[in-house]
Structure 1
Amino acid sequence: MARPLKIALCQFAPQAPESAPDAPTQNLARAHRFVEQAAAGGAQLVVFPEYFISGIIADEKFWSLAQPPHHEHKAQPTSHEGAEHWLESFRLLAIQHSIDIVAGTIVEKSGKKDENGKEILRNVAHYITKQGEVVGRYEKKNLWWPEKDYLTKGDDEHQVFDTEHGRVGMLICWDLAWPEAFRSLLLQNVEIVIAPTCWLGSDGADVGMAHDPECEAKFLDSLIVARAFENECVVIFVNCGGKAEDGWIGGSGVTVPFKGWVGKSKSNEEELFFVDIDVDILKDAREVYGIRRDLVPKLKELGRLPEGVEP
């Protein structure tokens, strides 16, 4: 029996905090409207990109935008308009509009300091069900090198959690470049990998762009397709949008085995678009390619099978 899933991808263009004092407030309000549009369009799941509310907060003067962890948040607002915590506002929207939400990433305060006395901040993605339950929480483990100046990588192992749409895992941006991150999810029988991202065309630096100005777009195109095939899973990739002259390349979309891209953004600009998939295509991919079927016994033979995974 087919398992159809209608996904809304929001290639959100965050207003940077240095552009206006109320930029995060404006970003949050716009994101709320996109949730409403996604639900009105019949989506069962809407996904936002990395840093979509705060923007990139590399400058220390913006570290105050980091939120307390949601599970430590005590307030009980009755509507998303009254929610002080960003994630709480999306939790209430999920209930109101009966839609699952991946609220991009939110930088969180850990309440701890490093050896230099600096606040430890983590970049965190959450999965919220239409019932308002936060069933998935992932702290970015593989930090892009500039992020290491203001973020601390997550300590927890990659985790897969059950949703009504299948077994889901989350990765964030530079995690995509690390096959080990996907391998960990594969061994937990992941079906859908969701990757909020803030990836710019300039990330290849002058050296890479001298070889090819489109190097980063090509990097992403090859990664997102390959990861779906080699891990027998759906990959939902949602990048930030914006003007090309500011370095934004967009490229958000969904890939599946056999087909590759089954939906992709039209440009680098901000847009909300919908992609329909049948999750049951993964059964055929696993039957044909047998990657995880062969991988688990091989790892067991080598003594490298993670604890708790059985053939």
Structure 2
Amino acid sequence: MAPVFRIAVIQLYIKPFRPAENFARAVKFIRDAAAQGCHLAVLPEFHLTNWIPEDPKFANLCADWETYLLRYQALAQECNICIVPGSIVQTPSEPGAPPENVAHFISNTGEILGSYTKKNLWLPTERKHLRSSGTNPHQIIQTPLGPVGLLLCWDLAFPEAWRELIQQGAKIIIVPTLWTRNTVTDAGHRWNPAGESLFLDSILTSRTFENTCAVVFANGGGPPGRNYCGLSQITIPYVGPLVRLGTPAEAMGVADVDMAVLDDAEANYSIRADLGQADWHYSYARRTMEQPKSNL
């Protein structure tokens, strides 16, 4: 019998330059999720500092990343809940190297089971300020919820990233995001003022079908009139969003994900089976890599 996992997606209002305040509100949501019996809680990208890299204060705030990561590890163990604390900008150990945008999967025992550095950086600001993971392969993480893949924000636009994770057996893809309305150009806005919302809703549902996976998408939220898109959701094939925070307000959504739906979708569409065929049509796009060992 397939397991059922209760998952919380947290749409946090990320106040610029207030990591302590943002962390405190995130902790309240996570405690609430744990009290509701959730197995996993997911926060948005850049959830501690927001993303304002041109400001001189930004780099100093990012220097405390290890402190917050340790606090999340302690919280996960205390509350017996797995946590993906969005992403955290990490300053490198080597002098002069650019920082990286990193997501971590923390188990309910407080152990970091795996990490992912954002590969597809948004232009122009992220490519100017961050270091990408480049050609390093996407790797799944073995977790109490089964094999999981981590992506960040603009990664979701690249089907190659999803395929690489699905080929390794990922069943849940987690996508912390800070997606705002101002990512669209004036020309795009003239075509459709709600184009970014259409993009997100369309692509998230499509990814569940074309990869027979569940998607946990945690975006930033905030007061009316701000630039946030919201739309944080937990989405599965056949159904679409199990929970969808349609407004950009700060909120938390909880859904029970019955993993049987992924088996049914795979039996229907045979996506994973085709990916595993030696004569798969697109084998030129398939990397051969060593499977990561379980940390459990």
The TM-score with structure 1 as length reference comes to: 0.88
> Does the C-alpha gap of structure 1 residues 302 and 102 become closer, same or farther in structure 2, counting only changes over 3 Å?
closer
CA offset at residue 57 of structure 1? 3.0
Q: Counterpart in 2 of 1:131?
A: 109
Q: Is residue 2:241 matched to residue 1:261?
A: yes
Q: Counterpart in 1 of 2:145?
A: 165
> Does the C-alpha gap of structure 1 residues 67 and 193 become closer, same or farther in structure 2, counting only changes over 3 Å?
farther
Provide Cα deviations, 1:72-119, integer angstroms capped at 9, x if missing partner. xxxxxxxxxxxxx10100000001010000000000011235xxxx54
Counting only pairs closer than 5 Å after superposition, residues 198-237 of structure 1 correspond to structure 2 as: 198-237=178-217
CA offset at residue 302 of structure 1? 4.5
Secondary structure in structure 2 of the residue aligned to 1:198: coil
CA offset at residue 266 of structure 1? 4.1
Paired with 1:235 and 1:66, the residues of 2 have a C-alpha distance of 28
- Please tell me whether the aligned partners of residues 65 and 88 of structure 2 are also in contact (alpha carbons under 8 angstroms): no
Paired with 1:203 and 1:183, the residues of 2 have a C-alpha distance of 25
Q: Counterpart in 2 of 1:276?
A: 256
Q: Is residue 2:172 matched to residue 1:192?
A: yes
Q: Counterpart in 1 of 2:133?
A: 154
Q: Counterpart in 1 of 2:122?
A: 144
Paired with 2:284 and 2:131, the residues of 1 have a C-alpha distance of 31
Q: Counterpart in 2 of 1:174?
A: 154
Secondary structure in structure 1 of the residue aligned to 2:268: helix
Provide Cα deviations, 1:271-306, integer angstroms capped at 9, x if missing partner. 012111101211111111001211232348855542
- Paired amino acid for 1:137: S
CA offset at residue 7 of structure 1? 0.7
Counting only pairs closer than 5 Å after superposition, residues 1-311 of structure 1 correspond to structure 2 as: 1-17=1-17, 23-61=18-56, 62-67=58-63, 70=66, 85-112=67-94, 118-145=96-123, 146-155=125-134, 156-297=136-277, 298-299=279-280, 302=283, 305-308=286-289
The TM-score with structure 2 as length reference comes to: 0.92
Instruction: List structure 1 segments (4+ residues) > 6 angstroms apart after TM superposition.
Output: none
Q: Counterpart in 2 of 1:77?
A: none
Paired with 1:111 and 1:60, the residues of 2 have a C-alpha distance of 22
Provide Cα deviations, 1:121-175, integer angstroms capped at 9, x if missing partner. 1000000010011002000000000211111111432110111211101000000
Paired with 1:41 and 1:53, the residues of 2 have a C-alpha distance of 24
Identity across the alignment (%): 36
Paired with 1:234 and 1:301, the residues of 2 have a C-alpha distance of 23
5+ residue gaps in structure 2? Answer: 292-296
- Paired amino acid for 2:120: N
Task: Tell me the matched-pair count.
Answer: 287
Secondary structure in structure 2 of the residue aligned to 1:104: coil
- Please tell me whether the aligned partners of residues 112 and 120 of structure 1 are also in contact (alpha carbons under 8 angstroms): no
Computed over aligned residues only, the root mean square deviation of the Cα atoms, in angstroms, reads 1.8
